[in-house]
Amino acid sequence: MRNAFLDTLFELAQQDERIVFITGDLGYRVVEKLMEQRPLQFLNAGVAEQNLTGLAAGMALSGKVVFTYSIGNFPTMRCLEQIRNDICYHEANVKIVTVGGGFAYGPMGVTHHAIEDLAVMRAMPGLIVVAPGDPVEARAATRALVAHAGPCYLRLGKAGEPTVHTGPIDYRLGKAIRLREGTDLTLISTGGMLQTAAKAAERLASRGVQTRVLSMHTLKPLDESEVLAGARETGAVATLEEHSINGGLGSAVAEVLAETLDVKVPFKRIGMPPIFSPHIGTQEYMLQKHGLNDEAVAAVLLTLVQARNPTSRGSVATL
């Protein structure tokens, strides 16, 4: 997703001189093209994310479309006051970009585990929150954020994420994408968990359970109509995220379901518990340790379906 974002941004920057990219001394080997060919639209602010964010707000208020860029928690947690007061309060046209959401930097430990960022960014007034599911969505999201006049947060993986969408997509901010149709439950995924969601749905299909899969690439504003359609049409809903179950996608969907009086369905949040992970390792290892691989996800979903209908066929052991 990172490369898809940077390639698309470079293409757009060639067409629009308002676009400025500010890095926190990060991204070398992937940002050189922009740095060398569009030097007036590139700035390295150094390892000083608070200064970087204030600078971005000032440039945006002067007519620029500014993208800030750094690892995981650094462009968000480290400079939250500047995001709140400089960017959001002034409705500045700044796009805050995190590379390495979730456990992408798992070997570097808790400081680099970005599993609370969606919750924090969702709480910021006026901030659009976007977490694309694959490189196709990342390219579309980059274009959409440039076109949107106002503050946004873009959460990316690191690199090497697989392409999940096999054809063109209708990408609109605030509108979920149906990756797969189903009648037995709805699985709503955000960010890099989209392939895991698709694989879990395939496992369930082998047991006769048909799962609707939604890519909720925009957490704010949330596509409430698709959430409620999934609940009413399939009878059960689950969310999947590489993030704490508190405050992120699961919480956003739970809020919609809880406040809709005529909808009562089984619901499950699948993600990280609100703890600091005691594990350190590759992203694949971290996801496996926390039950976020496709086999574990499918088992949880099957349990959800069986709880709604005890006579439903299939068993966790045979997934």
Tens-digit pLDDT profile for residues 272-314: 999 999 999 999 999 999 999 999 999 999 999 998 776 554 4
122-147 pLDDT, tens per residue? 999 999 999 999 999 999 999 999 99
pLDDT of residue 313: 45
Do 40 and 125 have their domain in common? Answer: yes
Q: Is the pLDDT of residue 317 over 60?
A: no
- The 10s digit of each residue's pLDDT in 29-80 is 789 999 999 999 999 999 999 999 999 999 999 999 999 999 989 999 999 9
Task: Write out the E strands in 7-126.
Answer: 19-23, 42-44, 65-71, 94-99
Q: Domain residues for 250?
A: 177-318
CATH of the domain at 217: 3.40.50.920
- Looking at the fold, whether 239 and 122 belong to one and the same domain comes out as no
Does 265 map to a domain?
yes
**Do residues 37 and 114 share a domain?**
yes
Q: Are residues 214 and 252 in the same domain?
A: yes
pLDDT at residue 318 is higher than 80: no
Provide the pLDDT confidence category of residue 231 given band limits of 50, 70 and 90. Answer: very high
Alpha-carbon gap, residue 75 to 155, rounded angstroms = 11
Q: Which of 159, 155, 160, 164 is nearest to 197 (CA)?
A: 164
Classify residue 164: in a domain, yes or no.
Answer: no
Nearest-CA neighbor of 299 among 234, 214, 192, 203?
A: 203
Query: Is the confidence at residue 183, as pLDDT, over 70?
Result: yes
Total structural domains within the chain: 2
Classify the C-alpha dihedral 214-177-253-114 as positive or negative: positive
Task: Say what the pLDDT of residue 256 is.
Answer: 98
Task: Tell whether 226 and 271 lie within a shared domain.
Answer: yes
Mean pLDDT of the 175-179 span: 98
Would the pTM of this model clear 0.85, i.e. be above it? yes
Which single residue is written with the structure tokens 């966790």? 316
Tell me the average pLDDT of the chain.
94
